[in-house]
Amino acid sequence: MTGGAGYIGAHTVRALHAIGRPVIVLDSLELGSAAAVLDLPLVVGDISDEALVEQICRDHEVDTIVHFAAYKNVGESMKLPAKYFHNNVDGTVHLLDAAVRAGVRHVVFSSSCSVYGTPASVPVDESQPIHPESVYAETKAIVERVLHWYGVVHGLESVSLRYFNAAGASFDSAIGEDWTYALNLIPVAIRALLTGDQELQVFGDDYPTPDGTCIRDYIHVDDLAQAHIAAIDYLAAGGDSTAVNVGTGLGSSVFDVLRGIERLAGRPVPHHVVDRRLGDPVSTFSDPARSFAVLGWQPKYGLDEILSTAYRWHVAQLEGPAGPG
């Protein structure tokens, strides 16, 4: 598992370990935490190091790679495109070349709903056109195409999971999303409430939605981990390469999220409304029908569980870190 010491990766490592699946993690630890991997095998290294990747795959008889490792800051990608193309695209090509030589047959790829850009309609299903609106999104779309052609040329089968908004933390508060690096609404809002070191910016309250704020599909990170296991099993059973949306099919507004956090904390989230942010779609949420039809997967948790687990984890970190993801 590449990037297995990061937020979503660490939750997926735990989920696989819990059902007795052997896992080895490759992570540079640039943005991940060794503590999040628990006591499972961790190799510190880069996905572009073909000799290392090939050795790991041969030594551990790897049959499937779950590929999380990527830079994911949309804003940064528009300022430093080379960083994103070199790591997210070039690095993946090096990874795949080494994997093919070592006999790996399956890849589960961490893609993104951002490959659709501003959706033409909602809910978003997999028939919508691919139209990235950032360098980050473009790298995800390119890798999906790379995987297609590695399938044609090398017989490598893959599932690209197009996530919506991953959020929440483990239910035992052992791992979660480090707000030091996070740009997502939920950890930023909880940080504003718990530390008071910054005020949350709400980008626009004049959208054509019930409360004027943007609507997004939030999926619990543990549900997302289970989607990866479902994709691994799908490929192991002989499934063909495909791309699948991973979301709940339900949309929550910015103010829905803030009200939920405020109910948990018993006090308001410090925030102020600023102008709309360029490129933000009004509303985007998944049509999850295909994920159930193809992978047999569907989410268990909703916004309440997402917010409560995230809040508990961040409180625990302030009281004494238990091992961030």
The set of catalytic residues is 136
φ, ψ dihedrals at 255, nearest 5°: -70, -30
CB 253 within 8 A of CB 215: yes
E strands, 117-184, in order: 157-163, 165-167
Q: Is 171 helix (H, G, I), strand (E, B) or coil?
A: coil
218-220 and 165-167 beta bridge pairing: parallel
Q: What share of the chain is helix, strand, coil (3-state, %, to 5)?
A: 45, 15, 40
φ, ψ dihedrals at 216, nearest 5°: -135, 160
CB 67 within 8 A of CB 74: no
What DSSP state is assigned to residue 215?
E
Q: Is 75 helix (H, G, I), strand (E, B) or coil?
A: helix
Helices 254-265 and 185-195: crossing angle in degrees, nearest 10, is 40
Q: Is 292 helix (H, G, I), strand (E, B) or coil?
A: helix
> What is the distance in angstroms between the CA of the first residue and the CA of the last residue of the chain?
15
Tokens of 242: 């495909």
